[in-house]
Amino acid sequence: MFFAQYYLDCLSHASYMIADETTGKAVVVDPRRDVSEYLADAAARGFTIEAVVNTHFHADFLAGHLELADRTGAWIGYGQRAEAEYPIRRLADGERISLGDVELRILETPGHTPESISVLVYQHTADAVPYGVLTGDALFIGDVGRPDLLASIGVTADELGRMLYDTVQHKLMALPDAVRVFPAHGAGSACGKNLSTRRQSTIGEQRATNYACRPMSEERFVELVTAGQPSAPAYFVYDAILNRKEHGLFDTASVQRPLSVEEFMERRSAGAVVVDARSPQDFASGHLRGSVNVPADGRFAEQAGTVVGPEQEVLVVAPQDREEEIVTRLARIGFDRVGGYLREPEGAFPALADEMEQAGRLTAVELRRLLDGDEPPLVLDVRSAAEREEGLIGGSSHIPLAELARRAEEIPAGRPVVVHCAGGHRSSIAAALLRHKGRADVSDLLGGYGAWLALPASADV
């Protein structure tokens, strides 16, 4: 058996390829949209990708099932409850997919979504115990999939939570302790609240350590798994719907659109939003007025999908030689309306001096001085609710970054705004978004809440 996990850090996403090395038959599970790595591995090993299986309609990324089916002729599989615009094979509970001696068996595991399935992997058809189980978003390492993402139209979080209880407590925990657990996401994903950084586990380990896998009543389970979930990025519902639809294929060759200064500025004047993927430091030093800063070194796609709408045309300002990477990462969440990128921005900026501005950034000492003054600024905390519960700046307002684009009007006008997060990354995004929306006097806190906590009580202000 060939078994490979492909992990994408920026989306905390895991996909898989399983093959029988004797027959050369392979299946890819939960692929991302840029599929070249799967194709290259299959070609290098002489495999034929015969099937693409999605464990459910994902909300946090646009899956690569259509791209792989187009390139290989593979069929696309989902659980029995799935409804899609494109041809699919509905996989029944207990159904077997033979690759030769290697075999996959389908286990219906609804709860995160109604159509969710898990995939049991048998190294040999006659094995009594599976090698592992690909759990999709039903069971994570340290957590379970949240039932409240609104990815399932017409089904309530309570209904899904009760489905998930049966899935986790009665189906997945019924598997032998030795079965390896391979989830679709890891730490950082908004698909759960307590995901581990580890990329595989066992059923036995989860039975002993995962809060949601311990014996409990259905009511207690639903209460636990629905409490304290982070705000979901705005694009999640868009992707959950788009994954059901027939849509355009991603082609890396077609996204390389370098624009001259004149072309770039024409598109900006026509309404395109500029996403500047440089570091907060470089962005603060000088950027095109109205640009939104979403640093590439972080959860770029998720955060871009939080502050920019999929209907908006995007123009990219990228760190040197990372333009194609940035456009690919946008495509991974289905954001295909990229007008192009500015060729060599550092060389182009001097000619755009009239369109450039700097971003205000304050130290913790400077913020304390302002708060003690006669006209203190409004402090806006864009961390998650769970982070804020661990400590806050007195008198600050709170809107998580994932909710800021739709709640910006709640921020009172007429006062300077200082935005902070935990360390300064998300606050640069949030401050730039507010300036993009017309707020003039917006700064962000260098070092975030960590810098504020580090202030000595006797700091000279």
CATH fold of 252-357, please?
Oxidized Rhodanese; domain 1 (3.40.250)
Q: Which residue from 278, 456, 435, 431 is spatially nearest to 361, judged by alpha carbons?
A: 431
Domain span(s) for CATH 3.60.15.10 in the chain: 2-242
Residue with tokens 């089904």: 155
For residue 418, the SS3 value is strand
pLDDT of residue 187: 76
pLDDT of residue 131: 98
37: number of Cβ within 10 Å:
15
Q: Counting beta carbons within 10 angstroms of the beta carbon of residue 424, is it exposed (0 to 12), middle (13 to 18) or buried (19 or more)?
A: buried
Record the pTM.
0.92
pLDDT of residue 230: 79
CB 394 within 8 A of CB 372: no
Which tens digits make up the pLDDT trace of 332-384?
A: 999 999 999 998 898 899 999 999 999 999 999 999 999 999 999 999 999 99
How far is residue 442's CA from residue 359's CA, in Å, rounded to a whole number?
A: 8
For residue 421, pLDDT over 50 is answered with yes
414: number of Cβ within 10 Å:
6
Residue with tokens 């290697």: 102
Q: What are phi and psi of 292, to 5 degrees?
A: -105, 125
CB 315 within 8 A of CB 275: yes
Q: What is the DSSP string of 396-415?
A: -EE--HHHHHHHGGGSPSSS
H-helix or E-strand containing 367? Answer: helix 364-371
CATH of 360-453, one of 1.10.260.40, 3.40.50.10800, 3.40.250.10, 3.30.565.10: 3.40.250.10
Kindly state the average pLDDT of the residues 280-288.
96
Question: How would you classify residue 436: left for phi > 0, otherwise alpha for psi between -120 and 50, otherwise beta?
Answer: alpha
Per residue, what are the HEC states of 278-341?
CCHHHHHHCEECCCEECCCCCCHHHHHHHHCCCCCCEEEECCCCCHHHHHHHHHCCCCCCEEEE
CB 293 within 8 A of CB 251: no
How far is residue 292's CA from residue 252's CA, in Å, rounded to a whole number?
A: 24
pLDDT of residue 459: 47
224: number of Cβ within 10 Å:
15
pLDDT of residue 163: 96
CB 60 within 8 A of CB 22: no
Amino acid of residue 425: H
How far is residue 345's CA from residue 326's CA, in Å, rounded to a whole number?
A: 14
pLDDT of residue 199: 86
348: its two tokens = 């182009």
Tell me which of 97 and 460 has the higher pLDDT: 97
Which DSSP symbol is given to 144?
B
Residue with tokens 């990708």: 49
How far is residue 91's CA from residue 279's CA, in Å, rounded to a whole number?
A: 45
Inter-CA distances, 87 with 65, 98, 362, 422, Å: 11, 21, 55, 45
Give the lowest-confidence range in 174-178, 342-346, 435-439: 342-346
pLDDT of residue 228: 79
Q: Report the percent of the chain where pLDDT is more than 90.
A: 86
For residue 23, pLDDT over 70 is answered with yes
10 a catalytic residue: no
313: its two tokens = 């045309």
How far is residue 71's CA from residue 49's CA, in Å, rounded to a whole number?
A: 10
pLDDT of residue 460: 44
How far is residue 40's CA from residue 52's CA, in Å, rounded to a whole number?
A: 16
> Which one is catalytic: 10, 191, 213, 421?
421
Domain span(s) for CATH 3.40.250.10 in the chain: 252-357, 360-453
Tell me which of 89 and 351 has the higher pLDDT: 89
116: its two tokens = 């969710």
Measured in whole angstroms, the distance separating CA 401 from the mean position of its chain's CA atoms is: 14
91: its two tokens = 């996989």
258: its two tokens = 């370098």
How far is residue 19's CA from residue 2's CA, in Å, rounded to a whole number?
A: 5
CATH of 2-242, one of 3.10.180.10, 3.60.15.10, 3.40.50.300, 3.20.20.70: 3.60.15.10
Instruction: Output the CA torsion 296→299→303→305 (10° steps).
Output: 90
Q: What is the DSSP string of 35-59?
A: -HHHHHHHHHHT-EEEEEE-SS--S
pLDDT of residue 269: 95
Which tens digits make up the pLDDT trace of 30-77?
A: 999 999 999 999 999 999 999 999 999 999 999 999 999 999 999 999
